[in-house]
Chain A
């Protein structure tokens, strides 16, 4: 065996065999070197720094030729201890942490958490209708922006560049809505225990209606590019197969489960936030493959638009209603508003607490520094996030801070299906299979 001297792709002997470090661009010399060995089995370490592994996912692939014989996932590179951190913050501050978990679906994290806190407080039915409808509307917009990343990056990873450009163009429009409503494009901490941080700004519904029209028109671009495209079909049909039995034993939810033909969607099965009052369908396919999952995501975009339209007509009727519970011991004292120096407490509120009412000042101070107490107990609340069942397990010991916050993250759980989908397939299909799970590592590692 010749000595490998490439400065960018060194090799060394280990107890497990020869290990090559490859940094790219030197595949010819590497394949010559590997071809000279008698070993059939090659273990490839893909990631954690790899553009097509959706963030910092590490895949350890055992290969024989181009066939994958064993897949293992390495996760944890993005572990930030959010669950532990929330134990040291008030219940309201927790929102700011949990929104950063699954960073493509922040509003689902926030809403699931807030539904949990409200259930513990026993105020689920006191949340105003306007706040609930705004939550639903924002979540459905978020589903669109999240699916856009799934579709765009999924296509990009299989070599199709244009769908990604189109998908991010649409996502941008949704993020504009987020910015207009919540002040931030990501990690907005907009949903708060008891309601939402602020009411819709003036003219918001007009802008939203325009955006719905644009989105509906533009979704067709990606559909034309991908549905029926023979290259796309060859790369995705029959790939990453996982049937219903596999999904149930692995606890898989979301589009992957629905691609087996089971219309399991928590918005229909166990409605929350008043989803029982909306008209929408649950798209399914019975192909159990990557193609079916992408098809489901595309069809869900249209269903989300349908729900948003119903939200808009509801909101028009609910104009002027409060967006926070009436209980002053729980409701955050001030609505946010945009001032000359950015977003903050509304000036009217500042005038009231600083100049007019001592009581209001005391209330503001107590709620902001101390927070509210939540009766002891535990709850498990769920929402249907773009990736499946987002569950929040909250334990309170009766104090102003959570005793334990656990997120049942759909990405974390669904990623377990990687081995079942990839083993025995081609190495090129691993990328397609992982993309169809649509894992977000911020959610996986928390």
Chain B
């Protein structure tokens, strides 16, 4: 999903791996856009949204239905409008979760913000996903629509460095205020030290050989 392919078996290079697995290239299947019918209540949601929001095709990059869950990939300029319609007209009363993910190989869309919405009225869930480039990691805050997005967005900023414009106080929440870097990004090291146990040394978790 993150990469188009994985090289090697163990995710390390230069380790003197003579097994031949180092030359292995495995492709990773990307989950593409889903065609209608989506199944379940997803068609209804998409219909309602299209009716309420004329610029649907311009705002929604793609619709993915996978494992019984609906994800709308929203253009970041349109996120606030889409979210407002979802709240006011489609009755998604709760912004349950905001989090991020870092895909360093997706050039121009390295940082993803994933928003989980819940409608208590209709007992439905949908997910919004917004992609922003690492060089300009801005998108509009949803705190104005759901006050509960406040801490969730602060955490996403804290961990990924994604900047939510119009947020009432976008500061770090879990890490110390003067921390450098954004820990959940893939290029941020895990840290850890080698552990000696009964005379042998166990390397730090990020240094250990692992299967991809």
List chain A positions with a Cβ less than 8 A from chain B. 75-76, 79, 81, 83-85, 87-89, 119-120, 122, 248-252, 262, 264, 269-270, 369-371, 376-380, 389, 391, 393, 395-401, 403-404, 406, 408, 412-413, 415-416, 445-446
Please tell me if B18 contacts chain A, counting CB pairs below 8 Å.
no
Q: How far is the CA of A81 from the CA of B152 in the complex (A)?
A: 16
List A contacts of B114 (CB < 8 A): 378, 393, 406
Across the interface, do A408 and B96 meet the contact criterion of CB distance under 8 Å?
Answer: yes
Closest to A87 in B: B190
List B contacts of A84 (CB < 8 A): 183-184, 190
Please tell me if B6 contacts chain A, counting CB pairs below 8 Å.
yes
List A contacts of B28 (CB < 8 A): 376, 397-398
List chain B positions with a Cβ less than 8 A from chain A. 1-3, 6, 28-31, 66-69, 71, 93-97, 99, 101-102, 114, 116, 118, 120, 123, 125, 127, 146-152, 155, 172-176, 183-184, 190, 205-206, 210-212
List B contacts of A370 (CB < 8 A): 211
Across the interface, do B97 and A250 meet the contact criterion of CB distance under 8 Å?
Answer: no
Q: How far is the CA of A378 from the CA of B102 in the complex (A)?
A: 14
List A contacts of B172 (CB < 8 A): 76
Across the interface, do A250 and B148 meet the contact criterion of CB distance under 8 Å?
Answer: yes
Across the interface, do A83 and B148 meet the contact criterion of CB distance under 8 Å?
Answer: no
What's the least CB distance linking B112 to chain A, in Å? 9
Across the interface, do A404 and B67 meet the contact criterion of CB distance under 8 Å?
Answer: no
Q: How far is the CA of A404 from the CA of B184 in the complex (A)?
A: 9
Beyond A84-B190, A88-B205, A119-B67, is A397–B3 a contact (Cβ under 8 Å)?
yes
Across the interface, do B148 and A378 meet the contact criterion of CB distance under 8 Å?
Answer: no
What's the least CB distance linking B4 to chain A, in Å? 11
Across the interface, do A79 and B175 meet the contact criterion of CB distance under 8 Å?
Answer: yes
Across the interface, do A376 and B183 meet the contact criterion of CB distance under 8 Å?
Answer: no
What are the 10 A-B residue pairs with the smallest beta carbon separation, nearest first? A251-B148, A408-B97, A76-B174, A406-B99, A376-B1, A250-B148, A79-B174, A370-B211, A248-B93, A88-B205
Q: How far is the CA of A312 from the CA of B71 in the complex (A)?
A: 39
Closest to A392 in B: B97
Across the interface, do B151 and A413 meet the contact criterion of CB distance under 8 Å?
Answer: yes
Beyond A84-B184, A391-B97, A393-B114, is A416–B151 a contact (Cβ under 8 Å)?
yes
> What are 5 A-B residue pairs whose CB atoms fall within 8 Å in the complex?
A269-B123, A376-B1, A399-B212, A404-B102, A413-B152
Q: How far is the CA of A252 from the CA of B94 in the complex (A)?
A: 8
Across the interface, do B148 and A380 meet the contact criterion of CB distance under 8 Å?
Answer: no
Q: How far is the CA of A389 from the CA of B125 in the complex (A)?
A: 13
Interface centre among A262, A369, A378, A393 (most CB of B within 10 A): A378
Residue of A262, A393, A400 touching B97 (CB-CB under 8 A): A393
Q: How far is the CA of A416 from the CA of B146 in the complex (A)?
A: 12
Closest to A379 in B: B67
Q: How far is the CA of A122 from the CA of B68 in the complex (A)?
A: 11
Across the interface, do A445 and B127 meet the contact criterion of CB distance under 8 Å?
Answer: no
Across the interface, do A445 and B99 meet the contact criterion of CB distance under 8 Å?
Answer: no
Across the interface, do B211 and A264 meet the contact criterion of CB distance under 8 Å?
Answer: no
Residue of A88, A377, A380, A403 touching B31 (CB-CB under 8 A): A377
Residue of A89, A404, A416 touching B150 (CB-CB under 8 A): A416
Across the interface, do A397 and B120 meet the contact criterion of CB distance under 8 Å?
Answer: no
What's the least CB distance linking B193 to chain A, in Å? 14
Q: A75-B174, A76-B175, A120-B67 are in contact. List 8 more A-B contacts (CB 8 A).
A: A249-B147, A251-B96, A376-B31, A377-B31, A378-B69, A396-B1, A413-B96, A413-B148
List A contacts of B149 (CB < 8 A): 251
List B contacts of A81 (CB < 8 A): 183, 190
Q: How far is the CA of A109 from the CA of B162 in the complex (A)?
A: 27
List A contacts of B67 (CB < 8 A): 119-120, 122, 377, 379
Across the interface, do B146 and A249 meet the contact criterion of CB distance under 8 Å?
Answer: yes
Across the interface, do B101 and A395 meet the contact criterion of CB distance under 8 Å?
Answer: yes
What's the least CB distance linking B154 to chain A, in Å? 10
Across the interface, do B211 and A400 meet the contact criterion of CB distance under 8 Å?
Answer: yes
List A contacts of B93 (CB < 8 A): 248
Residue of A85, A369, A412 touching B151 (CB-CB under 8 A): A412
Q: How far is the CA of A368 from the CA of B84 in the complex (A)?
A: 47
Q: How far is the CA of A237 from the CA of B112 in the complex (A)?
A: 44
Q: How far is the CA of A8 from the CA of B89 in the complex (A)?
A: 59
What's the least CB distance linking B198 to chain A, in Å? 16
Q: How far is the CA of A395 from the CA of B114 in the complex (A)?
A: 11
Across the interface, do A377 and B205 meet the contact criterion of CB distance under 8 Å?
Answer: no
List B contacts of A403 (CB < 8 A): 1-2, 101
Q: How far is the CA of A445 from the CA of B97 in the complex (A)?
A: 15
List B contacts of A83 (CB < 8 A): 184
